[in-house]
C-alpha cells in the first residue's frame, strides 16, 4: 500500500516527465496479490483494498501503467529484508 501511494505522489509531482510511465510494485505475499487482483474473497480490510484500487485509478489517470508482481521473500533482493523490518 505504501509503494502505490509513493508512486502516486512521485508520478503526480511536477518534476516528473508526463509521458507514459510504468510503476512496478513487488510483493512477496501471494495472498495479498490474489485479493487485489480478484477484488473479492475473504477481505478483512475492505478499506485497504478500496484505497489500493483508488490509487491504481489515480495512476491510470496520469497515464501510468501499474504492474503488481510476486517475488520470493528473502531471496537476496536488495532492500527486501529492510522493508519488512
Containing structural domain, residue 46: 38-85
Residue 76 lies in a domain: yes
Residue 10 lies in a domain: no
Residue 22 lies in a domain: no
Residue 13 lies in a domain: no
Total structural domains in the chain? 1
Residue 20 lies in a domain: no
DSSP state string for 27-45: ES-HHHHHHHHHS-SS-S-
Pairwise CA distance, residues 72 & 33, whole Å:
13
At 72 the pLDDT is 79
pTM, two decimals, is 0.61
> What does the pLDDT look like over 17-63, one tens digit per residue?
777 788 888 887 777 777 777 765 555 666 777 777 888 888 888 88
At 45 the pLDDT is 63
The HSE-up count of residue 33 (CA atoms within 13 Å, CB side) is: 12
Amino acid at each position: 500500500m505504501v509503494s502505490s501511494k509513493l508512486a502516486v505522489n512521485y508520478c503526480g509531482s511536477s518534476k516528473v516527465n508526463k509521458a507514459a510511465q510504468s510503476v512496478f510494485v513487488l510483493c512477496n505475499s501471494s495472498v495479498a496479490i490474489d485479493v487485489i487482483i480478484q477484488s473479492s474473497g475473504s477481505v478483512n480490510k475492505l478499506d485497504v483494498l478500496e484505497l489500493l484500487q483508488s490509487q491504481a485509478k489515480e495512476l491510470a489517470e496520469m497515464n501510468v501503467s501499474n504492474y503488481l508482481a510476486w517475488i520470493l521473500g528473502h531471496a537476496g533482493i536488495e532492500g527486501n529484508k529492510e522493508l519488512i523490518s
